[in-house]
Amino acid sequence: MSLATDLLAGNRRSLARAISQVEDGGPEARVLLAALYGRTGRAHVVGVTGAPGTGKSTLVNALAKAYRAEGQTIGIIAVDPTSPFSGGALLGDRVRMRDLAGDAGIFIRSMATRGSLGGLARATADVILVLDAAGFDRILVETVGVGQAEVDIASAAHTTIVVEAPGMGDEVQAIKAGVLEIADLFAVNKADREGADHTAMALQMMQGLAPAPTGHHGPRSASGHPEPGAQSDGSWLPPIVKTVATRGEGAERLRDWIETHRAHLQATDQLVRRETARAAAALDHVLRDALLAAFLTRLPDGVLSQTTEAIARREIDPYTAAAQLLAIST
Ligand SMILES: Nc1nc2c(ncn2[C@@H]2O[C@H](COP(=O)(O)OP(=O)(O)O)[C@@H](O)[C@H]2O)c(=O)[nH]1
Ligand SMILES: [Mg+2]
């Protein structure tokens, strides 16, 4: 039996092997992904992002348990571009794995940078495909919210949760990191700590500062803010959910909001739009890799390193050098 057939039949050992294969990339991975692709598109992908220490791992853990209580199967991918370790488990995630171990309805995979961040985004998207094909209902992807790579990874998600916590120094981190725009849901975690209300209010105020959805006539809460969730004009106002991840508090509410958002995406044309955006990003990654690989094989031996050294010595600028290399190889 081929690895793909094995995986689609629900064999767990083949799942781990398939994931390692797509992480490594290469021709075998391409054959596997081609065989699996037709069986994907069923899972709902949830991105969970935020600054280190806000409690993302703990929250993903609690969320997975809340989903398991309803019988849904969960794939978890923890992406940490800051970790120098490749493969295997990240330190904090080993604790989590022990906690969730023994439940066949949960599969956890940690991923760290191997080479470029772009490579990590590509590998993450492919691991999502494998878990999707293996039949997991929901896939939770934890990423550290620090930069463009995370925004790229978030573009692979249907629903993006931005996690904030009180006492992280600056309530407007979300805006600075540019993640406010990508949030479908906010979790104010560590709500057992002082300042959680303040953080939630700061987020709500930032939402108020954002341009109001056009033609908004939706209901308003007692505080004068519009009710979160689906608006009458088809737009979505991200709900702010307070959580205490260590005790699992708020996890059901967060799960229910994810499901509400999923229903909203399905009811509007936004699911199709997001799927198209995901397809564009996937094609873009694959094309870049393929073009670069094809280009490098056509380049005479040693030319790349000589050019790199010349750029470092300031003998030539990177733009002119790239144009010259392109001219040689075509
Ligand atoms: N007081 C409190 N601590 C929490 C909560 N959630 C997570 N933590 C703690 O915060 C620390 C960082 O959590 P972790 O999930 O590893 O954060 P991550 O870096 O965002 O993945 C750990 O010591 C957690 O036990 C919470 O709701 N309340
Ligand atoms: Mg973590």
3-state secondary structure (DSSP) of residue 28: helix
User: Is 95 part of a structural domain of the chain?
Assistant: yes
Maximum mean pLDDT: which of 28-32, 137-141, 173-177: 137-141
Pairing verdict, β 74-80 and 185-188 = unpaired
**Whose alpha carbon is nearest atom 3 of ligand 1?**
190
For the ranges 76-80, 117-121, 317-321, the one whose mean pLDDT is highest: 317-321
Q: Are residues 306 and 243 in the same domain?
A: no
Q: What is the CATH number of the domain that holds 174?
A: 3.40.50.300
| Least confident window among 139-153, 182-196, 227-241, 243-257 | 139-153
Q: What is the pLDDT of residues 262-297, one digit of tens each?
A: 999 999 988 888 888 888 878 887 898 889 989 999
Classify residue 229 as left (phi > 0), alpha (psi -120 to 50) or beta: left
* Domain with 29 in it: 1-39
Q: Tell me whether residue 229 is in a domain.
A: yes
Packing angle, helices 117-133 and 270-298, rounded to 10: 130
Rounded to the nearest 10 degrees, what angle do helices 117-133 and 27-37 cross at?
40
More confident residue, 9 or 152: 9
| pLDDT for res 314 | 97
For residue 325, the model assigns a pLDDT of 93
pLDDT class of 114 with cuts at 50, 70, 90: low
* Average pLDDT of the segment spanning 144-150: 62
Mean pLDDT lowest among 49-58, 174-183, 298-307? 174-183
For ligand 1, which residues put their CB under 6 angstroms from it?
50, 52-58, 92, 189-190, 192-193, 244-246
Say if residue 160 is in the same domain as residue 71. Answer: yes
Alpha-helical runs (H) found in 40-143: 56-68, 91-100, 117-133
User: Is residue 312 a part of any domain in this protein?
Assistant: yes
Same domain for 206 and 119, yes or no, is yes
Q: Quote the tokens at residue 153.
A: 């990874």
- The last residue of one of the domains, among 247, 269, 291, is 269
Q: Which ligand is nearest to the CA of 56?
A: 1
**Mean pLDDT estimate for the chain:** 84
Question: What single-letter DSSP state applies at residue 249?
Answer: B
Ligand 1 closest atom vs CA 243: 27
Choice from 246, 249, 253, 254 to test ligand 1 binding pocket (greatest atom count within 8 A of CB) = 246
Same domain, 106 and 232: yes
Flag whether 81 is in a domain: yes
Percent of the chain at pLDDT > 70 equals 79
- On the question of pLDDT at 81 being above 70, the answer is no
Query: Are both 215 and 320 inside the same structural domain?
Result: no
Query: Ligand 2 mean position to 57 CA, how many Å?
Result: 4
The single-letter code of the amino acid at 57 is S
- Dist. CA 36–CA 9, nearest whole Å: 12
Q: Of 253, 269, 285, which closes a domain? A: 269
pLDDT at 140 over 70: yes
Ligand nearest, relative to CA of residue 163: 1
Q: How confident is the model at residue 218 (pLDDT cuts 50, 70, 90)?
A: low
**Number of CB atoms found within 10 A of residue 291's CB:** 10
Q: Is the pLDDT of residue 318 over 90?
A: yes
**Confidence band, pLDDT 50/70/90 cuts, at residue 25:** confident
166 with 304, same domain: the answer is no
Split at pLDDT 50, 70, 90, the class of 11 is: confident
Residue 199 counted as domain residue = yes
Q: Are residues 186 and 92 in the same domain?
A: yes
Domain count within the chain: 3
| 4 shares its domain with 14 | yes
Same domain, 47 and 4: no
- Mean pLDDT is lowest, of 119-123, 254-258, 264-268, for 119-123
How far apart are the C-alpha atoms of 312 and 230, rounded to whole Å? 53
Domain contains 103 = yes
CA–centroid distance, residue 233 to ligand 2 (Å): 36
User: How confident is the model at residue 85, as a pLDDT?
Assistant: 46
Q: Are residues 230 and 164 in the same domain?
A: yes
Calpha distance 142→231 (Å, rounded): 28
Q: How far is the CA of 209 from the centre of ligand 1 (A)?
A: 29
Q: Where are the alpha helices (DSSP H) in the chain?
A: 3-8, 12-24, 27-37, 56-68, 91-100, 117-133, 148-154, 173-176, 196-209, 251-267, 270-298, 303-312, 318-329
When pLDDT is averaged across residues 201-205 and rounded to a whole number, the result is: 85
34 and 45, same structural domain?
no
DSSP string, 263-317: HHHHHSTHHHHHHHHHHHHHHHHHHHHHHHHHHHHHSPTTHHHHHHHHHHTTSS-
The answer on 54 and 174 residing in a single domain is yes
The answer to the question of residue 175 being in a domain is yes
Q: Is residue 304 part of a domain?
A: yes
CB-CB neighbours of 108 under 10 Å: 21
